[in-house]
Amino acid sequence: MELRHIRYFLVVAEEQNFTRAAARLGISQPPLSMQIKQLEQEIGAELFYRTTNGAELTAAGSAFYQAVKPIEQRLQAAVTTTQEVANGSLGTLRLGYTGTAMLHPLLRRVIRLFQQQYPNIQLQLSEANSLILMERLQRDELDIAVVRPPQTTPPDLNMQILLTEIMVAALPTEHPCQAMTEIPLGLLQHDMFIVSPATVSSGLFDAIREACFAHGFEPKMWQNAPQIVSILSLVAANLGVTLVPESAKQLQISGLRYRSISAPTPTVDMALAYPKLTHSQAAINFSSLIHTLLKRPVNPD
């Protein structure tokens, strides 16, 4: 039994007339009558009384109608659901982000706007360091991620730079340079830099090293803090210094001071990473939305 046979039957039953049913279906009457005859032969029962005025359901036809009507409704619901998933208005978006990326107002704005425009998309949020997020993208555990891009992008991932942030120095209140409004980065060459390990956060790690190289020294790295809050807490404990994106200044921790850095001013990128071969429509919609927001002024929340 084919689905089109069921659809033909339902339309004839609703119209109670083969001619009107054929017009509604966009076919001629003889083929429609033939299809209904084939359906009756397959079931082994007459479904309609043919009358001069049209067609009426037999008792068997009425029973068949009650049984198959929900099938049409479920099929239509399945088609609608499939279409909504295909256009990204229904389903799930697995979004990864780094701790420093979430501090930027752009990411918070796009998440709010995405929820407003796609209320039937379930957001599954995951925070991790950049390299961990990229590994999860490669394992199909995430659809898209906002990262601090490393110098080398895995060949199976796309990387789109969203923006470039100025970096500032984070110093303990006991540091001699904390009294300065702007500091030459070379004054920190004897300090220990607290950073996330390069094995999990190479984007920020590399940005700090390159900034120090640009100011004429190689930093002493203490790689013992995986997240931005733990890094800044260790700085506040007077265990070292670090460089962070300017948006991190909103994290106010007792014992910590932020200071601008004199030219050449260090910067770090923020980027979208996603798989090249697998495309989530919800992720495409998220990417489109964030690029739309980039064309507008990004104001603090």
Q: What CATH number is associated with residue 58? A: 1.10.10.10
For residue 155, is it within any domain? yes
Residues 110-121 have a mean pLDDT of 93
8 A C-beta contact, residue 196 and residue 129: yes
Q: Residue 55 above 70 pLDDT?
A: yes
Strands (DSSP E) contained in 197-291 are 220-223, 242-245, 256-261, 267-275
For residue 226, is it within any domain? yes
The domain in which residue 220 lies consists of: 163-268
Q: What is the pLDDT of residues 240-293, one digit of tens each?
A: 999 999 999 999 999 999 999 999 999 999 999 999 987 789 999 999 999 999
8 A C-beta contact, residue 136 and residue 96: yes
For residue 249, is it within any domain? yes
Q: Is the pTM of this model over 0.85?
A: no
Structure tokens at 137: 């993208």
**Model pLDDT, residue 223:** 65
Residues 32, 74 share a domain: yes
Residues 148, 285 share a domain: yes
Which has more confidence, 235 or 296? 235
- What lies within 8 Å, CB to CB, of 299 at 6+ separation is 105
Residues 255, 175 share a domain: yes
Q: Which long-range contacts (CB under 8 A, 24 or more apart) does 202-205 make?
A: 202/130, 202/131, 202/150, 202/151, 203/130, 203/147, 203/148, 203/149, 203/150, 203/268, 203/269, 204/100, 204/130, 204/148, 204/268
For residue 105, is it within any domain? yes
- The CA dihedral of 135, 138, 140, 145, to the nearest 10 degrees, is 60
Residues 65, 9 share a domain: yes
| Cα-based angle 224, 227, 230 (whole degrees, multiple of 5) | 70
What phi and psi values does residue 252 have, to the nearest 5 degrees? -95, 115
63 vs 57: CA distance, rounded Å: 9
Q: What is the count of structural domains for the chain?
A: 3
**Model pLDDT, residue 295:** 83
CATH number at residue 190: 3.40.190.10
Residues 79, 210 share a domain: no
Q: What is the pLDDT of residues 179-229, one digit of tens each?
A: 999 999 999 999 999 998 888 788 888 999 999 999 999 999 886 777 899
Q: Residue 300 above 60 pLDDT?
A: no
Q: What is the pLDDT of residues 156-186, one digit of tens each?
A: 999 999 999 999 999 999 999 989 999 999 9
133 vs 97: CA distance, rounded Å: 7
Q: Which of 33, 59, 86 is the last residue of a domain?
A: 86
The winner for highest mean pLDDT among 5-14, 43-52, 176-185 is 176-185
Which residue blocks in 44-104 are alpha helix, DSSP H? 59-86, 99-102
8 A C-beta contact, residue 110 and residue 62: no
**Model pLDDT, residue 171:** 97
Query: Alpha carbon 8 to chain centroid distance?
Result: 42
Q: Which of 86, 118, 140 is the last residue of a domain?
A: 86
For residue 300, is it within any domain? no
195 vs 178: CA distance, rounded Å: 19
The conformation of residue 249, written as its DSSP 8-state character, comes to G
- What lies within 8 Å, CB to CB, of 148 at 6+ separation is 98, 100, 101, 130, 201, 203, 204, 207, 268, 269, 270, 271
**Model pLDDT, residue 213:** 94
Q: What does the chain come to in residues?
A: 301
For residue 301, is it within any domain? no
245 vs 25: CA distance, rounded Å: 63
Residues 234, 190 share a domain: yes
Q: Residue 2 above 90 pLDDT?
A: no
For residue 77, is it within any domain? yes
**Model pLDDT, residue 108:** 92
Which has more confidence, 54 or 253? 253
Residues 98, 48 share a domain: no
For residue 299, is it within any domain? no
Q: Which residue has the tokens 């429609």?
A: 32
Residues 186, 47 share a domain: no
Conformation bin of residue 295: beta by default, left when phi > 0, alpha when psi is -120 to 50: alpha
8 A C-beta contact, residue 173 and residue 124: no
Q: What is the pLDDT of residues 56-104, one digit of tens each?
A: 999 999 999 888 888 777 777 666 667 766 666 678 999 999 999 999 9
Residues 14, 75 share a domain: yes
Residues 231, 172 share a domain: yes
Q: Which of 69, 86, 103 is the last residue of a domain?
A: 86
Residues 289, 158 share a domain: yes
Residues 149, 283 share a domain: yes
Q: Residue 4 above 60 pLDDT?
A: yes
Residues 139-149 have a mean pLDDT of 95
